[in-house]
Amino acid sequence: MTIGSVRVRPQPRLKRPARGSLGVAILLSAIMLLLATPLFGQQEYVTRYDAYVGYSYLNSSNISLVEHGVQAQFGVRPWTWLSIGADYTHASGDLTLTPNLLLPSIQQTLGAQLGQLAAAGYLPAGYSLVVPASSTTQTFTLGPQLAYRHFTHLTLFFRPTAGGIHEVATPHAGDPISAGIVAQLAPTGKKSDTTIFYGFGGGFDVLLTNHFAIRTQADLVRDHLFNDLLTDARWTVRFSIGPAFNFGKNIVK
């Protein structure tokens, strides 16, 4: 891509079909493995409530965002096949910003500025504008979840996913040129935004007892954070694994 009179080498984007491949591959492989085991038999004990806390992994491949953190959930089961619950995720990591991710108007402004620097001899040969940043993301969801309990020690579930996402990004300029650009785009030294997201997800619980399980789950969601800077919305994969606790009375009729 040419910005002004300077050729800026954009960083290659990951292909969209590969987004979140780690979490999705783990989830699908585990489901296939568990379905191949002798778990048949209707569940006869299903508690009214469940709670979960575990490791969380977030990935937005188009901005090279990778974050690790914690996910927590609480659910109420009106019926054995339906839960209503809330979900919270907090994760931190890193992302990478390149000119091709920015709005066209911002790209044009940067092109003019870099062109002036090049004309004055202040731009190194082959200069590539890349700004790494650290980030912290929080997500909040509330909604239904459908459960399939045909197996004695395995519960499969599926859910629509919708909620809010809040992210704080702190860019780390590596040279005086990128430092000047960062000062324009994020004068306070960091950038934060909150918006809605939507998607779908699912997973499974391996039931070790009536009151304890190991949960594996993933969601694919879409949002457009920082739409005053970034030209495209993004897909994000949320993957999580950890212990789930079931409590309350048995609701199986």
DSSP run (H or E) holding 27: helix 21-35
Helices of type H across 100-239: 104-119, 176-185
Averaged pLDDT for residues 11-30: 50
Query: Does residue 13 have a pLDDT over 80?
Result: no
Choice between 227 and 1, residue whose per-residue pLDDT is larger: 227
How far is the C-alpha of 154 from the C-alpha of 145, rounded, in Å? 16
C-alpha span between 19 and 173 (Å, rounded): 26
Mean pLDDT of the 182-188 span: 90
pLDDT at 103: 95
pLDDT at 6: 38
**For 17-45, what is the mean pLDDT?**
57
Task: Give the predicted TM-score (pTM) of the model.
Answer: 0.80
CATH number of the 2-6+17-250 domain:
2.40.160.20
What mean pLDDT do residues 245-252 have? 96
Residue 30 has pLDDT above 80, yes or no: no
Q: How far apart are CA 201 and CA 223, in angstroms?
A: 15
Q: Quote the pLDDT of residue 128.
A: 85
pLDDT tens readout for residues 198-226? 999 999 999 999 999 999 999 999 999 99
Q: Is the pLDDT of residue 39 over 70?
A: no
Percent of the chain with pLDDT over 90: 67
- What mean pLDDT comes out for the span 41-54? 93
User: Scanning the structure block, which residue is given the tokens 């918006």?
Assistant: 195
Contacting residues for 157 by C-beta, under 8 A, at least 6 apart: 83, 145, 146, 147, 148, 202, 203, 204, 205, 217
For the chain, the structural domain boundaries read 2-6+17-250
